[in-house]
Amino acid sequence: MALAARTHLWSSDFLPELRLGLENLRAHKMRSALTMLGMIFGVAAVVAMLSIGAGAQQEVMAFIEQLGVRNLIVEAREAPDNQTLQKVRKLSAGLSFQDVRIIQANLDGIDAASPRKRFTPSKLIPRPVGGDIPVVYGVTPAYQKIANLQVASGRFFDDAETTAAAPVAVVGEAAAATLFGVEDPVGQYLKVNEQWFRVIGVAGPQLTVQSDVAGIPAQDRNNIIYVPLYASIFRLEDGQSAQKDEIDGIYLQMKPSADVPSAAALMRGVLDVAHRGAGDFTIVSPAELLAEQRRTQRIFEMVMVAIASISLLVGGIGIMNIMLASVLERTREIGVRRAIGARQRDVVRQFLIETTIISLSGGVIGILLGVGLSQLIGVLAGWSTIVTTASIVLAFGVSVAIGIVFGLYPAVRASRLDPVKALHYE
């Protein structure tokens, strides 16, 4: 009974004021619409900016996760010019198989390791059609495990083929498409520079990014030709090998029990000593990158929300301005309501209902506009966008809160009007 009575009392007070608020807003359609614009654009900006940021961050984090949180990668750092290269060479001969042996001797918990020799072919047969020239990676079979490389068809080369420098190759799916079109590459031959290789497998799809990530150069990881490490060195080494590192990359996978950050620090110290501080290499720890990227994402989201909230703040100021003008226009109406028994809280509730309607309507339209903008930007700019529930709830909640906060002062001011003076107001 008590609950029914409270519900009846609430509906008898609230519903008439809700209808009155809607009628007042409809009576000034243009003014109400213009007041909503600030909330609409503010909410749309929050949703769109957070969706663009979430899409970009997720793409990078997915790429880092693909690198393997238990992996460590050493990348040779190329000298920008020959003079710098000569200075570096006086201190260090660059990455080499000796570095691999030093790392394996000093680092505990290594589960798998693979050196890498990378080439960009000067000549390829069949000629690539409709894409970039594939890059050649000379690696050992352990690379497949370290990089979590799946083989879509055929197989990966084995240790015996690596030791024998066998002329076999595994192509990425993009390389297979540009070299062989719709034909099955497995069993066919391709010529890299002056050497023929038999294709024995096609690698499955891998995530790629369009820019460098913490020392890892941007590379379409689907546009790669994998060959045995010694085949790349003995069959494809060019005449400028004296100016290049013996190898240009080292991939390590640590055991589940290993402390990856500590291993990265130890390996960095060991290689610094071996290279006499030449600074000709970069160590990439995906686990550290992932943690740093998550911290960056949180900061990025806070900055984006702060920037977009300026639009919501402007919208809130607009609501306050309009409601103050509405109080002046409706002074006699307020006086009449007070004279027939309306309490101060009734007047406050009436004006807060109107500001809440404005902020709620602006929030809903802004969310729809923000989702549409993020999708449109994703299509036109080719960016990955993700509209998250958190961004929608945040934008909507902030818009309603700002509407109520900025509508409170005009509502309180209206409730404090002297009923006698209000009745005589012209």
Q: Domain extents for the chain? A: 16-63+292-423, 69-286
What pLDDT is recorded for position 319? 77
What pLDDT is recorded for position 217? 61
**pLDDT tens, 60-101?**
666 666 677 788 888 888 777 778 778 877 888 888 899 999
C-alpha distances in Å from residue 182, one per residue of 173, 179, 203, 289, 422: 11, 9, 15, 38, 83
Which residues of the chain carry a pLDDT beneath 70?
Answer: 1-18, 20-21, 27, 59-66, 208-219, 238-245, 289-290, 293, 308, 381-382, 419-426
Place of tokens 């984006």: 304
Q: Is 192 exposed, middle or buried (0-12, 13-18, 19+ CB in 10 A)?
A: buried
What pLDDT is recorded for position 189? 94
Chain centroid offset of residue 262 CA: 27
Segment (H or E) for 112: strand 110-119
